[in-house]
């Protein structure tokens, strides 16, 4: 697809960002998504949100990324640039929007001196696995999280 423009999220992007965030993470409350977006500092080095738009200004997708200073599975350096989330509108998938978003995140990571760029995906999200492999990521580990309530 030609005419895909990637730029850091600004206040004018918040409504589109919120709608796409809810589509990507429907389990979260709209209020929580809204609070996360309001807390976002567009001048900070990390985290970042990049918005993809077409030539007509229609929002096509977004990517969120952050520097992770804690241990990142499969990585050897710190901090690691981490792809926290990526979403492309269903009707524009398969046209290179995610490829452009990931390239922009990688450029951001390189600019901060990172030598590793990591990500994750649910075990059953095979489309995301395919995308990551197509975009140059290699699979490192498969993990299952657990939790248990603790009585105070």
Contacting positions for ligand COA (CB under 6 A): 24, 86-88, 93-99, 121, 125, 127-128, 130-131, 134-135
Nearer to ligand COA, 5 or 113 (CB): 5
Nearer to ligand COA, 41 or 91 (CB): 91
Nearer to ligand COA, 19 or 121 (CB): 121
Least distance to ligand COA from the beta carbon of 25, Å? 9
Nearer to ligand COA, 43 or 124 (CB): 124
DSSP of the chain: ----EEEE--GGGHHHHHHHHHHH-TTS-HHHHHHHHHH--TTSSSSEEEEEE-TT--EEEEEEEEEE-S--TT--SSSEEEEEEEEE-GGGTTSSHHHHHHHHHHHHHHHTT-S-EEE---TT-HHHHHHHHHTT----------------
Least distance to ligand COA from the beta carbon of 139, Å? 13
Least distance to ligand COA from the beta carbon of 136, Å? 10
């Amino acid at each position: 697809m030609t005419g895909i423009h990637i730029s850091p999220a600004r206040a004018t992007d918040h409504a589109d960002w919120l709608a796409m965030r809810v589509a990507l993470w429907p389990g979260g409350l709209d209020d929580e998504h809204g609070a996360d977006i309001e807390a976002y500092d567009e001048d900070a080095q990390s985290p970042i949100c990049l918005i993809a738009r077409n030539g007509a200004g229609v929002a096509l997708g977004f990517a969120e990324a952050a520097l992770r200073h804690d241990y990142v599975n499969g990585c050897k350096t710190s901090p690691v640039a981490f792809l926290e989330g990526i979403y492309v509108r269903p009707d524009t998938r398969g046209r290179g929007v995610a490829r452009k978003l990931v390239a922009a995140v990688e450029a951001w990571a390189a600019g901060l001196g990172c030598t590793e760029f990591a990500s994750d995906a649910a075990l059953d999200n095979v489309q995301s696995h395919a995308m990551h492999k197509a975009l140059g990521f290699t699979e490192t580990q498969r993990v299952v999280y657990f939790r248990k309530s603790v009585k105070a």
